[in-house]
Amino acid sequence: MADDRKPDVKPAAGGAVQQVTLKLRDPQGNEIEFKVKSTTKFHKIAKAYADKKNIDLAGLRFQVDGERVDLLSEQTVSELDLEDGDIVDVEINQVGGGPAPL
pLDDT tens string 8-21: 444 444 568 899 99
Q: Give the pLDDT confidence of 32-86 residue by residue, as tens digits.
A: 999 999 999 999 999 999 999 999 999 999 999 999 999 999 999 999 999 999 9
13 part of a folded domain: no
5 part of a folded domain: no
26 part of a folded domain: yes
pLDDT of amino acid 14: 53
The CATH number given to whatever domain includes residue 78 is: 3.10.20.90
Domain count, the chain: 1
pTM recorded for the entire structure:
0.76
pLDDT of amino acid 93: 82
pLDDT of amino acid 22: 97
Range of the domain at 56: 19-37+52-92
11 part of a folded domain: no
Instruction: Report the C-alpha gap between 23 and 29 in whole angstroms.
Output: 11
Residue 77 burial class via C-beta count within 10 angstroms: exposed 0-12, middle 13-18, buried 19 and up: buried
62 part of a folded domain: yes
